[in-house]
Chains A and B, each alone.
Chain A
Amino acid sequence: QSVLTQPPSVSAAPGQKVTISCSGSSSNIGNDYVSWYQQLPGTAPKLLIYGNNKRPSGIPDRFSGSKSGTSATLGITGLQTRDEADYYCGTWDSSRSAWVFGAGTKLTVL
């Protein structure tokens, strides 16, 4: 059972917008920064968002992150078929001195 809770799957049509939620508690998301990772089929995870809402160099602005209280959200606009992947939220849980992740959300672009 993952410490962070994500929906197992989401779907939307090309060009549309989708959001993926990540729910935690005051001991992790509530007090720590959230990052998001994209894992395309058969590849290693890739950092999409850090510091709750910052994008690393090279990540398009179609991807956005936000945090409120003990929950975080990844938003993807202008969906493309190449966005089909598993998405994970993660945070350094200071109370455990450990990284914790959600179970992942599979995005399908219909």
Chain B
Amino acid sequence: QLVESGGGWVQPGGSLRLSCVVSGFSFSNYGMNWVRQAPGKGLEWISYISSSGSSTFYADSLRGRFTISRDNAKKSVYLQVNSLRAEDTAVYHCASEFRGTPGYFGLDVWGPGTTVTVSS
């Protein structure tokens, strides 16, 4: 129901635009998140965008290099990642969130992820 794409190998300092296409539920009613997982490590939340796209939040450590956006007509959410560093190497997942009371419903559906490798 969620499928990410756009990952790959990139040199340090490079950029990528990750995409996540949604099917099977009413996309425009859901907030969306990006969460990454470095090799052998735990989950690291990156960013959230509200159902309308009017509100966005970012992890403090990543703010400025990462930009989340969405296109409800295309049922897609995007993550623009700039000035990539070796430590950005990870699997990047998108995850949906029905947001009534913030956090109540959790991140209910996750995509399999797209792999980003930053190396020279």
Chain A residues near B (Cβ < 8 Å): 2, 32-33, 35, 37, 43-47, 49-51, 56, 86, 88, 90-92, 94, 96-104
Chain B 91-103, CB-CB to A under 8 Å as 1, else 0, gives 0010100000111
State the Cβ distance, A52 to closest chain B Cβ, in Å. Answer: 9
Q: Is the interface of A mostly helix, strand, loop or mixed?
A: strand
A32 touching B111, Cβ below 8 Å:
no
For residue B25, CB closer than 8 A to chain A, the reply is: no
Contact at B104–A101, with CB atoms within 8 Å? no
Count, chain B residues at interface, CB 8 A? 26
A-B contact count (CB 8 A): 75
Is the C-beta of B87 less than 8 angstroms from some C-beta in chain A? no
Chain A residues contacting B106 (CB-CB under 8 Å) are 33, 35, 37, 47, 49-51, 90
- Contact present for A98 and B59 (CB under 8 Å): yes
Once the chains bind, are B45 and A98 in contact (CB under 8 Å)? yes
Q: Which residues of B contact A (CB under 8 A)?
A: 33, 35, 42-45, 48, 57-60, 93, 95, 101-113
> In the complex the two chains form, is A37's CB within 8 Å of B57's CB?
no
Minimum CB distance partner of A101 in chain B: B43
Report if A97-B42 is in contact (Cβ < 8 Å); known contacts: A44-B110, A51-B105: no
- Neighbour of A44 across the interface among B44, B48, B104, B111, CB < 8 A: B111
What is the chain B residue whose CB lies nearest that of A50?
Answer: B106
| Docked pose: A92 CA to B58 CA in angstroms | 12
B93 touching A45, Cβ below 8 Å = yes
- Which chain B residues lie closer than 8 Å to A32 at the CB level? 102-103
For the complex of A and B, 6 pairs with smallest distance between CB atoms: A92-B103, A35-B106, A50-B106, A99-B45, A44-B110, A104-B42
